[in-house]
Amino acid sequence: MAIQYPFRRKRNFKETDDLGFGTRIIGEKDRLIAKDGKFNVVRVGLKTWSPYQDLVEMTWVRFFGVVIAFFVVVNVVFALLLNWIGMDCLNGVQKGSWLENFEQAWFFSVQTFTTVGYGSINPSCISTNFVAATIALVGLMSAALATGLLFVRFSKPTSQLVFSKNAIITPYRDGTSFQFRIANMRNSRLINLDVKLTMSWVEPNESGTMSRKFARLKLEREKVVMLPLNWNIVHPIDEESPFWERSPEDLAAMNVEVIVLIEAFDEVFSQTIFANSSYCDEEFLHNVKWKQMYYPDPSGSGKTILDLARIDETMPIV
Restricting to residues 64-93, name those near a copy of itself by CB under 8 A: 67-68, 71, 91
Instruction: Tell me: does residue 315 bind a copy of itself (CB under 8 A).
Output: no
The CA-CA-CA angle for residues 170, 171, 172, to 5°, reads: 115
| Residue with smaller CB distance to a copy of itself, 73 or 140 | 140
| Residue with smaller CB distance to a copy of itself, 164 or 246 | 164
Q: Cβ distance 281 to 255 under 8 Å?
A: yes
Of positions 5, 7, 84, 151, contacts a copy of itself by CB under 8 A: 151
Buried b / exposed e over 155-171, threshold 16 CB at 10 Å, is: eebeebbbbbebbbbbe
Instruction: Tell me: does residue 23 bind a copy of itself (CB under 8 A).
Output: no
Alpha-carbon distances of 84 from 73, 97, 123, 128, 141, rounded to whole Å: 17, 14, 14, 10, 25
* Least distance in angstroms from the C-beta of 235 to a copy of itself: 17
CB atoms within 10 A of CB 30: 11
In the region spanning residues 95 to 124, those forming contacts with a copy of itself, defined by CB under 8 A, are 103, 107, 110-112, 114-120, 122-123
Of positions 58, 80, 89, 162, contacts a copy of itself by CB under 8 A: 162
* Least distance in angstroms from the C-beta of 49 to a copy of itself: 10
Instruction: Tell me: does residue 308 bind a copy of itself (CB under 8 A).
Output: yes
| Residue with smaller CB distance to a copy of itself, 208 or 300 | 300
In the region spanning residues 211 to 270, those forming contacts with a copy of itself, defined by CB under 8 A, are 221, 223-229, 231, 261, 263, 265, 267-268, 270
Stretch that binds a copy of itself, among 2-10, 12-20, 233-241, 242-250 (CB under 8 A): 12-20
The count of residues interacting with a copy of itself (CB under 8 A) is 112
Instruction: Tell me: does residue 62 bind a copy of itself (CB under 8 A).
Output: no
* Least distance in angstroms from the C-beta of 79 to a copy of itself: 12
Q: Give the integer Cα–Cα distance in Å for 134 and 246.
A: 71
What backbone phi and psi angles, to 5 degrees, belong to 11?
-90, 130
Closest CA to 305 of 233, 234, 230: 230
| Residue with smaller CB distance to a copy of itself, 128 or 176 | 128
| Residue with smaller CB distance to a copy of itself, 230 or 241 | 230
Residues in CB range of 59: below 8 A, 6 or more apart: none
| Residue with smaller CB distance to a copy of itself, 27 or 175 | 27
Alpha-carbon distances of 272 from 189, 230, 269, rounded to whole Å: 12, 20, 9
Q: Cβ distance 141 to 166 under 8 Å?
A: no
